[in-house]
Structure 1
Amino acid sequence: MKPWVRHPVAALGVAALLVAGGCTQAVTGVATPEGSGAKATDTAGEERRTGFDECGLAEPGEVAKAIGVSAMHVTSRSAMTQSDGSRRAVCTYFPENVPGLLGLQIGTVADTDPERFFAPFAKNFRNIQTIPNLGDRAEAVAYKANGTSTHFIEVRTIAGDRGLHLFYTYADDRGAMPKADGAAAAVILVQALSRLPAKVTIPDGTPEGRCADIDLEPAAEAVGAKFTMARSVVSDSGGLSCYFSGGNGNLDVTLLTDPNRAEKMAVAPDKITHADIGDGARVIVTEANALDARVNVGDRVVAITASYASKVTAPRPADVELVRTVVEAIGKPN
């Protein structure tokens, strides 16, 4: 079980709203004609232009209209091979054009089956609600983080060997994301499912823009995995989201250039662990076996997270070198 409070009634409400919002007829997904995918506000590599585009299932404008905000932006992408052998690609949206921020995610899983695809729900939740007439099978959960006003809603649906996973988060008292609306989720999911190609092939991708400037050798040494998949997002203000994965490891890099967001994420002087990186860095290893680093670089902030392929309990010289290499590559303006 995850350390979060469950709300079975909330999950039931989401399931009911999904039905009320349009899931009254079976939707199983159809092939999408070439060119019908949405244009996202990010870079698009040749692999994605000629293959499956994880952000092509829902246009930002469509998502914004569904949840009732003035605009939504693609703020990050990721792709990985999961431990069960299936491939997963994720598109993240947020009302502000700031790479790295999370409000709503649509994840696509290729070459899966019901047992593997729904296993995370079966393992981590008790308040699972079934949604009728959406794909071959669909389930929803809703929960709240302990001691906070942050809510989470997740919906999983599968059609054949293709799975869709919608993740939505909002807070009661703050934030740009509105309170979750099950009817809105239904609109988004039905549309995304209808746009799924009959056969989904998730490409490896290549790093783009300044993400390509990051030397991955120090990262691979620290994480203990060779990175074979990559995704990139660049904002109009030069912000970046760079994602790399391979084996059991991954590296997630965000460059915050938005003044308000960078100020909130900046490392306080008493939290700096490495004063010689940028203008001061905080580098730790979390209980979840992940590197967590934030670095002040002038009025910008570089945030780095990495999941290790093996057990690590404290920052090592290789981890510090990883952080230093990333900051030197992307921290300062071009």
Structure 2
Amino acid sequence: MYVTISAQKLEGSYPQSVSGYVAYLEKENEGVSKEEMEHFFNQYGEAINREEVIKEIDSNTAKLKKTEPKFYSITINPSQRELRAINNSVTDLKRYTKAVMEAYVTSFHREINGRNVTIADIKYYAKLEHKRYFKGSDTEIIENQKYASEILKLKQELRKFPMEIQSAQKGTQPTAKKAKLVKQRELHKRIEQLEREAPHQLHGKRIVQGMEKPGNQSHIHIIVSRKDATNSVSLSPGSTYKASKVTINGKEVKRGFDRNQFYKDAEKVFDRMFAYNRNYVESYKARKLLKHKPTKFFLKVLQLPSNEKALALKLLKEQQVPVTTIPTNKVQLAIKALKQVKKGIDVGIRSSSIGY
């Protein structure tokens, strides 16, 4: 389970309205029947329309400066393995989202009127999406890039040919034009060859940015207001404070949001709700260790019981973390091999959201 929290930005600044983000989240509803549409929902309602979302979020920004975020975006990205475990069920994903938001409020080190923050104190709207598209940071796009660049260069060269050459038929042109026609055909053949040779293909075509990703890609976007439901208290998951106290006007006030705890709890909620047997490498704890202490991470993987280790290595390979060079039986050789795979670690972490 890969969960993120971010303050939405537009050209380097925080948007003063949520309308643009809502419009973005409505993109999958374009061109589909009413029965197939996914609508916004929250703890208390289903089929909430976009106008209500915009009105409720935009009117809940009292005393916030233009330089402060008015809302936050939370994304819940189950892996394909997790989605298979629940049969990609829309009902289960929505039920899980509501449980995650319960975990969200308990991650605040805050009090409202002398009590802990509850689900009734926040204003949020969630939207389920079923598609994802390849983007520039994906491994497939990065590794296809040299082919894409050469293809683009060849196509630019093709555009230099006059239209009469581009549409000419063999045997109908003078010698000079025939030479250009041969050159043109050579360029077309080279382009076709590069298209075939690109390492990442989907349905017989080179993977390019904007192409829809295969398999189950269901994920959830959540818009949560910076202010509480009464529009009087600021609840920021972007706080740099995990759990602390500060004195304001002579009164001691709790502050902070524990992101680590929230990410762990979101994972635990899924496992508990769906009796999911999580492998070590699927855990937030493991991803964090992989990012900061890769050697320790791989040694931990190698020390797993045989069945768990086999699955872990399989999942890592599917996440495109280069583990083929890591021996599974000699720890010292494994440490040496780690130096060869560090370049792939960040890619693996990015891929973990939906890769396995």
TM-score grouping bracket, smaller chain normalisation: under 0.3
RCO greater where, 1 or 2, for CA within 8 Å and sep 6 or more?
A: 2
TM-score normalised to structure 2 length: 0.25
Rg larger for: 2
More helix per residue: 2
More strand per residue: 1
TM-score normalised to structure 1 length: 0.26
